[in-house]
Amino acid sequence: EAAVTQSPRNKVAVTGGKVTLSCNQTNNHNNMYWYRQDTGHGLRLIHYSYGAGSTEKGDIPDGYKASRPSQENFSLILELATPSQTSVYFCASGDAWGGRAETLYFGSGTRLTVL
């Protein structure tokens, strides 16, 4: 089974601080995704990547940056964290090009609280 590992599991940050969420996958998947999950909104796509060196904006990219330095690692960066970014963040990897027939493998999530 695909292994996607997120760190940290929980994070408390202060408003205006910088937060980096990390994701590592060990299955050589090309595609990786960052979602946030909030009650009443389901899963919303923040950024995604088709491979090392590539990042693409999802549906709600404002306030977030992403970095894909290698096939295995995909980071989500909040340069200036705000309380509205308090949420649970999920990383996922996928095993097909273009998403046309792609099953996603999710990490366990990072619960971020911005005070």
Partner 1 sequence: GEQVEQLPSSLIVQEGASVLINCSYTDSASVYFPWYKQEPGKRLQFIIDIRSNMERKQTQRLTLLFDKKTKHLSLHITATQPGDSAIYFCSASNNRIFFGDGTQLVVKP
Shortest Cβ distance from residue 80 to partner 1 (Å)? 28
| Choice from 13, 104, 112, 114 touching partner 1 (CB under 8 A) | 104
The maximal CA–CA distance of the chain, rounded, in angstroms, is 40
Which residues between 35 and 54 bind partner 1 (CB under 8 A)? 40-43, 45
Shortest Cβ distance from residue 25 to partner 1 (Å)? 13
Closest CA to 37 of 79, 6, 70: 6
CA-CA distance, 23 to 10, in Å (whole number)? 13
3-state helix, strand and coil shares in percent for the chain, rounded to the nearest 5:
5, 50, 45
Beta strands in 27-101 (DSSP E): 31-38, 42-49, 56-57, 65-67, 73-78, 87-94
103 binds partner 1 (CB under 8 A): yes
| Choice from 70, 108, 113, 115 touching partner 1 (CB under 8 A) | 108
Closer residue to partner 1, CB minimum distance, 47 or 81: 47
94 binds partner 1 (CB under 8 A): yes
Q: What residue has token string 């590592």?
A: 24
89 binds partner 1 (CB under 8 A): no
Q: Which residues bind partner 1 (CB under 8 A)?
A: 4, 33, 40-43, 45, 90, 92, 94, 98-109
